[in-house]
Structure 1
Amino acid sequence: MEGDCLSCMKYLMFIFNFFIFLGGSFLLGVGVWVLVDPMGFREIVAANPLLFTGVYVILAMGSMLFLLGFLGCCGAIRENKCLLLFFFMLILFIFLAELAAAILAFLFREHLTREYFTGELKRHYQGHNNTDVFTSTWNAIMTTFDCCGVSGPEDFEDSLFRLLSPNKMIPEACCQRNSYPGDISVQHCVSGSVAFRHNKGCYSAVVDYFETYIYTAGALAIVVLTIEVCVSHTFIQILIIACSF
């Protein structure tokens, strides 16, 4: 009976971790491909701080999942207590890291408010300056999510951007793309014309975009980690009992 249970748990754990291994390999491959791509995509990513950071996040996630899946597969199929113990400790570390991240997010939630981002935008945003990381990141956000400012175009009033560019009401990143051909639309846009600019704030745009996925991803991550912890712990216990006879 114990042998059948051990065999069932072994193959269940192997299959489960094999899919994790494949997912990690895919993410790792995508990250490496972007960094070494000779066709110029690397330069595009490097010029955008938001995308550049995302590549390393993908690499880190891919490496972690790759290692997790590899240890789980090898430990299960070889019934190696050392590998399984290391696998269990790695899962526990990831679980605690997620818990710590959630606690930190709760403690520093005041830094994620509209007022905080608006103040930072007013103090540091420079407009069209690709050498400044803060400015480049905000330009990438506004062009990616078709938004303007934190709450709207009015966020640029009494800001560093207006001091540096007194003839512009809003930056070019707030202008609508592919709607009105030519530079005339950009001139109307930066002068404050409502018809040529994005009027939605980036705070709402980003929240709306991720709201659908963040809870699903978080719940899925918790479920997967919980299953991994339970399965690996049970498998280790069964393996220890089986080896003691």
Structure 2
Amino acid sequence: MGAVTCLMVTVVGLNAIAAAAGLALSAVAIWVAVDGYKLYPISGVSGKDDIFAGAWIAIFTGFAFFLTCIFGIFAALKRSRALMLVYLIIMFIIFLFESASAITSATNRDYLVGNSNLVKKQMLQYYADSSTQGQQITMTWNNVMTQVQCCGADGPTDWIQYNSTYRQLFGAASLWPLGCCKRQSSNFEVVDPIGCKAGVTSSMFTQGCFQYIESVLSRYTWAVSWYGFSVLMLVFFTLVIAMIYYTQLP
């Protein structure tokens, strides 16, 4: 078997693997874009929703990788310099798009979860606010606090140590939202609403929610960025071998 034929087989094999990886990238990006944990409002209200923007780009680039790799297999089997050149150009353009997606998602994650202050500030500002953003944030935090059994970003004291929209509306009548209160497993009713509002620790959640939010956003980032980077490394190696094959074609 000649050297050119060996290169052709290698290019075909690498493109087949890269095509499968591209489909997998689209799948994990769709999982992020769907936002099964329903935390987009926390990211969106800050205007720093690049994790989700990166996911939409990754959906496109993953499927584009798949289609272009199929074309690359065809071009390699045809041993056509013209088709291989078209393939290389398209793959390089997609490579740049996916690089931008992975980088922006990673940097946005660092911005959101570097510490709890940003998430806490948004919570205090928008929770119980009547605006559209306020309604979204209120619903998001209610879901997180009741499902994860937590209260506030760092803990219940967030609601009383800092000025907030909720505190302005309810004052001393309710120190924190009912989402901070423990509920019965049978009917999901608050166990002791009066005690919870008064700060009885046995009737409320004392752990903060930031650790959960951080872990979810980190999972989203891993899906879009770190898996995206691994696909990029595979595509880069494929491009190098494909360029060598291109130079050997008559």
TM-based fold match above 0.5: yes
Counterpart position of 2:170: 165
CA RMSD of superposed structures (Å): 4.1
Following the alignment from structure 2 to structure 1, what is the Cα–Cα distance between the partners of residues 169 and 222? 40
Counterpart position of 2:79: none
* Percent identity of equivalent pairs: 18
1:151-162 pair list within 5 angstroms? 151-157=154-160, 158-162=163-167
State the SS of the aligned residue for 2:151: coil
Distance 1:184 1:9, change over 3 A: closer
Q: Is the 8 A contact 2:75 2:87 kept in 1?
A: no
1:220-239 pair list within 5 angstroms? 220-239=227-246
Residues 22-62 of structure 1: per-residue CA shift (max 9 Å, x gap): 42565688799x8xxxxxxxxxx8xx957x99998765533
Residues 42-85 of structure 1: per-residue CA shift (max 9 Å, x gap): xxx8xx957x9999876553333112211122223323321332
Following the alignment from structure 1 to structure 2, what is the Cα–Cα distance between the partners of residues 214 and 55? 9
Following the alignment from structure 2 to structure 1, what is the Cα–Cα distance between the partners of residues 205 and 157? 11
State the SS of the aligned residue for 1:222: helix
Counterpart position of 1:6: 7
Amino acid at match of 2:72: G
Counterpart position of 1:198: 205
TM-score (norm 1): 0.71
Q: Is the 8 A contact 1:13 1:76 kept in 2?
A: no
Task: Give unmatched runs, 5+ long, in structure 1.
Answer: 35-44
Q: Which has the higher contact order (CA 8 A, sep 6+)?
A: 2
TM-score (norm 2): 0.69
Q: Is the 8 A contact 1:151 1:202 kept in 2?
A: yes
Aligned length: 229
Counterpart position of 1:87: 91
1:161 to partner: Cα distance: 0.7
2:135 aligned to which of 128, 132, 136 = 132
Distance 1:100 1:119, change over 3 A: closer
Between 83-92 and 17-26, the greater mean CA deviation after superposition: 17-26
Q: Is the 8 A contact 2:181 2:190 kept in 1?
A: no
Q: Is the 8 A contact 1:117 1:150 kept in 2?
A: yes
Task: Give unmatched runs, 5+ long, in structure 2.
Answer: 77-82
1:13 to partner: Cα distance: 2.1
2:65 aligned to which of 59, 63, 68 = 68
Q: Is the 8 A contact 2:145 2:151 kept in 1?
A: yes
Amino acid at match of 2:14: M
